[in-house]
Amino acid sequence: MPADPAYVIAGGGLAGAKAAETLREEGYDGRLVIVGAEPERPYERPPLSKDYLRGESEREAVYVHPEGFYAERDIELRLERSAVGLDPAAREVQLDDGERIPYARLLIATGAEPRRLPVPGADLDGVLYLRTVADSDVLRGRLERGGHVVVVGAGWIGCEVAASARQKGLEVTVLDPLGVPLERVLGTEVGAVYRDVHADQGVTMRMGTGVEGFEGSGSVARVRTDGGDAIDCDFVVVGIGVAPRTALAEQAGLAVENGVLVDERLCTSAPDVFAAGDVANELHPFYGERIRVEHWGNALEQGPVAARAMLGREDAVYDRLPYFFSDQYDVGMEYAGYASDWDRVVFRGDVASREFLAFWLVRDRVVAGMNVNVWDVNDDIQALIRSRAQVSDHDVSDPGITLAELAGA
């Protein structure tokens, strides 16, 4: 007898796990299946470049839910199984072991995967990437052994790995073709702050430097730069961004462009198929344009909204502003908003002592803001962005004017 159509979640990461939790909380009591390619039950990735990587926290701390959570709620976890086929007409998902699961609703939460550096020597041992807890375990072992690590890419992952490696006492060199770390997201002014943070900690920051290739016999021993010099090393970590895992959606003919296209209810172009987390490219109601966010907060919050949309709840709309955080050494930050382009950056507070706010402005409106080692202000930053209030640089930089006053509240 064919099984009852299930609610199926393809992808056992944070977005998938939070969706499953919400489906049960909201009273869905039918068959619920999470298909997850990794051997682990759903876990959170931020610790993998921070405390977990440094050996300061245990494996148990990374999981989204305690052991037993899924069985207690009758959520079927198919681990080490991939969803490899999707037939929207037949409403069926196919797994890599041949099993076919009929679905009533499907959530695609397949996340993203590291972009690979296509250079000679890329396959040498010791050229590492960081996405999974297994990757973090390998890297953790390397950090314990010490030596010299070259980090390729000064984005979030590269910067956090560099910080953790320095904190473990390794010699660290960071390479990036751009002029400052995190330049694409933060721009040159705030990127320069992070360059100095790392340099102050003893990291060799080789900005404006690309990689020609890796050399070594069997294992990487040297990084050849595009400037023609060679940097000896014990291992390499490459962090040059991620690509959304869209194969399942593409194969099924869903609309895909830099992620699976979804509307504000996280519905894809196929009926009863939804997408959430790193893989979803949403037409965001606040911005009126498509945004794909590769951050923890987005996966955490989109999973539940997707679940509620799957249940047909009218108010299930995802309109949160993008939000992310990063911790490097003793410098913690939160960033909210979305700025692909901006006129200028305005600071408030003491940049030299690394306790400040930064605001990205477009035509006298704040479109993104960041708090560095200043806490309990991110909600106010978000309210300011949402207000779309017209502001002057002077007022934005003046700590005597509250963010609520700036927002016109």
Ligand X SMILES: Cc1cc2nc3c(=O)[nH]c(=O)nc-3n(C[C@H](O)[C@H](O)[C@H](O)COP(=O)(O)OP(=O)(O)OC[C@H]3O[C@@H](n4cnc5c(N)ncnc54)[C@H](O)[C@@H]3O)c2cc1C
Using CB under 6 A, list all residues that contact ligand X.
10-16, 35-38, 45-46, 48-49, 82-83, 109-112, 130-131, 157, 245, 248, 277-278, 294-297, 299, 324-326
Which is closer to ligand X, CB of 173 or CB of 298?
298
Q: Whole-angstrom Cα distance, residue 183 to residue 176?
A: 10
Could you tell me the smallest distance in angstroms from the CB atom of residue 402 to ligand X? 26
Which is closer to ligand X, CB of 300 or CB of 391?
300
- Sign (positive/negative) of CA torsion 52, 153, 370, 14? negative
Q: Whole-angstrom Cα distance, residue 102 to residue 79?
A: 18
First to last CA, the chain: 61
Which is closer to ligand X, CB of 41 or CB of 195?
41
HSE-CB at 313 with a 13 A cutoff on CA atoms is 18
Helix, strand, or coil here: 243?
strand
Could you tell me the smallest distance in angstroms from the CB atom of residue 43 to ligand X? 8
Which is closer to ligand X, CB of 274 or CB of 296?
296
Which is closer to ligand X, CB of 19 or CB of 366?
19
Query: Is the CB of residue 106 less than 8 Å from the CB of residue 93?
Result: yes
Q: Whole-angstrom Cα distance, residue 321 to residue 334?
A: 12
Which is closer to ligand X, CB of 129 or CB of 407?
129
Q: Whole-angstrom Cα distance, residue 31 to residue 36?
A: 16
Could you tell me the smallest distance in angstroms from the CB atom of residue 144 to ligand X? 18
If you write DSSP's letter for every residue of 56-74 in order, what string do you get? Answer: -S-GGGGBSS-TTHHHHTT
Could you tell me the smallest distance in angstroms from the CB atom of residue 298 to ligand X? 6
Could you tell me the smallest distance in angstroms from the CB atom of residue 409 to ligand X? 27
Total residue length of the chain: 409
Helix, strand, or coil here: 137?
helix
Could you tell me the smallest distance in angstroms from the CB atom of residue 294 to ligand X? 5
Query: Is the CB of residue 409 less than 8 Å from the CB of residue 382?
Result: no
